[in-house]
């Protein structure tokens, strides 16, 4: 094992060792539970701007989204159904950025929809050979999504290269990160999620890797805020429908 790999493994084990007891059930829609990492760091909402340390999020989150996980922390949280404008591609995510970003930007501009945060990335079938907690850009496909703040802002369906659809409610294990965006940042966070799941076998992975990028190019790379997430579920839990969850919770609305 190389020095870098050994250091990464040691950091992941330390991360899992610092956690608190895992929740007995998934959080309500729009809420989060701190489960590891820095247990004291907070994300604070100032008007429509989220702040933590040197990081901030300038654009509002979609309605009903839980608070962003601050860098250095590990949360379990539940996201509501959200309307997304999506483009799917293969290969390098950095090379493909312009392929996806500008058509998505023009889509929301044409529909007179204000920019929200985050830009979401889903990575399907991109797990590295022999390691499901590292991504390989030569495999699978990725989807970049811009988010509608409200589902009523436009219809679903095809709009040129853009597909507009409602993404299902999902519970995730999420780590907050700071620094330049890219597949390397995602692979930095995944071992921490793996370590937590190994330490808590009552929770299991339930889907593909997701990443949230909260900032635009005007923010210095060193201060960019992101999250890496894995859908999770309590072992043996019976999943409820999005409608069931929406009817059973009075979760706060992001940005309200």
Domain presence at residue 77: yes
Whether 174 is covered by a domain: the verdict is: yes
155 membership: H or E segment, kind and range:
none
pLDDT digit string, tens, across residues 217-231: 999 999 999 999 999
| pLDDT digit string (tens) for the chain, length 256 residues | 555 666 666 666 666 655 577 899 999 999 999 999 999 999 999 999 999 999 999 999 999 999 999 999 999 999 999 999 999 999 988 877 778 999 999 999 999 999 999 999 999 999 999 999 999 999 999 999 999 999 999 999 999 999 999 999 999 999 999 999 999 999 999 999 999 999 999 999 999 999 999 999 999 999 999 999 999 999 987 765 554 444 333 233 343 3
Q: Show the domain range for 229.
A: 3-248
- 253 within a domain of the structure (yes/no): no
pTM of the model: 0.88
Q: Would 254 be classed as within a structural domain?
A: no
Q: Could you tell me how many residues make up the chain?
A: 256
Is 220 a member of any domain? Answer: yes
Does some domain include residue 207?
yes
Contacts of 202 (CB under 8 A, 6+ apart): 22, 234, 235
Return the CATH number at 214. Answer: 3.20.80.10
190 Ramachandran zone, left/alpha/beta (phi>0; psi -120 to 50): alpha
How many separate domains does the chain show? 1
Residue 255 domain flag: no
Displacement of CA 128 from its chain's centroid (Å): 20
Distance between CA 143 and CA 90 in Å, rounded? 9
């Amino acid at each position: 094992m190389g020095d870098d790999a050994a250091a990464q493994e040691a950091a992941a084990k330390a991360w899992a060792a610092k956690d608190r007891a895992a929740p007995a059930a998934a959080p309500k829609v729009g809420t989060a539970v701190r489960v590891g990492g820095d247990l004291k760091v907070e994300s604070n909402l100032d008007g429509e701007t989220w702040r933590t340390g040197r990081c901030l999020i300038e654009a509002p989150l979609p309605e009903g989204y839980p608070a962003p996980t601050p860098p250095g922390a590990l949360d379990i949280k539940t996201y509501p159904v959200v309307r997304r404008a999506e483009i799917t591609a293969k290969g390098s995510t950095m090379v493909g950025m312009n392929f996806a970003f500008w058509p998505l930007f023009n889509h929301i501009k044409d529909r007179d929809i204000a920019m929200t945060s985050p830009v979401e990335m889903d990575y399907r079938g991109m797990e590295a050979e022999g390691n499901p907690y590292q991504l390989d850009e030569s495999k699978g496909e990725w989807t970049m999504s811009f988010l509608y703040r409200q589902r009523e802002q436009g219809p679903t369906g095809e709009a040129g290269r853009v597909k507009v659809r409602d993404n299902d409610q999902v519970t995730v294990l999420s780590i907050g990160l700071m620094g330049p965006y890219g597949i390397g940042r995602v692979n930095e966070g995944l071992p921490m999620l793996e370590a937590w799941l190994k330490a808590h076998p009552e929770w299991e992975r339930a889907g593909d890797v997701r990443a949230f990028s909260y900032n635009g190019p005007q923010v210095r790379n060193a201060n960019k805020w992101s999250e890496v997430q894995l859908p999770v579920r309590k072992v043996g839990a019976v999943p409820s429908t999005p409608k069931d969850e929406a009817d059973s919770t009075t979760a706060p609305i992001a940005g309200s």
